[in-house]
Amino acid sequence: MSTDRSALASDSAREARVTAIIREAGLCRPENRFFHDARTVESVTPAAALKVGRQWQAMTKAFMFTTVASLGLMARRFHHESAPDQEVLGAFQTAYLVIGDDLANLAPEFSAVSPKGVSGVHYVWWEDSILKPLTGEVSHADAAAAEQLPPGVQALLANMEQLADSPLGAAVQLRVVEAIALDIAVAFRRVYSKVRVNGDSPYTEDKTLSWIDSHIKAETVHAKSVSDDETGMTVIASTAQERADLLTLAEEYAGNWAMALNEFADALAEAPALVGSVR
């Protein structure tokens, strides 16, 4: 859908347009296939869960580091300005705090349950708590297959690399990802609670799924902060050209996220059956 970007001068209008871009890409319930299948799948094989998990680990690792890289470009620009725009600086502060949770678990929802130190970095925490219980339950062939990232995920990772080189990259990534992060976390809760090995769950220890549960609690706050009209991500685009570029980048990025989530749904198709009833 084309947009007359000259009509999107206000922060609220740009926020509304980004929200529309996310929906048009098919990233919202009930249209999104992964969110639907996570709810309706009856049980999930360890091989399917590992495949989804490896894809997610690659995505969340790239998301964190490429967002930080983009913030570094903004920081260098601020360094060379005698008085950085305070509205843009406020949005930068929001971005720094939100992505900081992936690296250092600043929010209480994370700090209360996350491992300490480097083990708490989100993609490492995911590996240790979600993926390791699966690795001994799959064949060598299935483990090797899970390491091969499908085209949709590869396209998203390439897009993240591109956004790392843009001062608008952090704004685009945080605005889109935090809008869908709660739905992703809920879908993961459904998927990983349905993994069975000989009828039993591989997640038997207390707090094994705390990565997922803590994200369900925290993502509502994150989504609200990055979409705020005064300190949210669209504020980072401070000129007419930047505002137009942000919307263009968001359209491409949301489309790549849609392809990646479709890969998750394809992996779930390895589960025994999809049923019509809601679980």
Q: How many residues does the chain have?
A: 279
Cβ atoms of 103 and 138 within 8 Å: the answer is no
Q: Note the pLDDT of residue 10.
A: 74
3.50.50.60, 1.10.357.20, 3.40.630.30, 1.20.910.10: which CATH number matches 18-268? Answer: 1.20.910.10
Confidence band (pLDDT; 50, 70, 90) for 8? Answer: low
State the average pLDDT over residues 203-217.
89
Distance CA 98, CA 106 (A): 8
Query: Which residue's structure tokens are 């300005």?
Result: 81
State the average pLDDT over residues 160-183.
98
Q: Note the pLDDT of residue 9.
A: 60
Counting other chains too, the contacts that 182-187 makes at CB distance below 8 Å and 24 or more residues apart are 182/215, 182/216, 182/219, 182/220, 182/223, 183/28, 183/29, 183/32, 183/35, 184/261, 185/212, 185/215, 185/216, 185/219, 186/35, 186/38, 186/216, 187/34, 187/35, 187/38, 187/39, 187/264
Confidence band (pLDDT; 50, 70, 90) for 253? Answer: very high
**Closest by alpha carbon to 14, among 170, 206, 239, 201?**
239
Q: Note the pLDDT of residue 163.
A: 98
State pLDDT tens for residues 12-64: 888 999 999 999 999 999 999 999 999 999 999 999 999 999 999 999 999 99
Q: Note the pLDDT of residue 7.
A: 37
Average pLDDT, the chain: 92
Amino acid at 188: F
Peptide bond before 167: cis, by omega within 30 degrees of 0? no
Q: Note the pLDDT of residue 275.
A: 42
pLDDT above 50 for 123: yes
pLDDT above 80 for 249: yes
Domain layout of the chain by residue ranges? 18-268
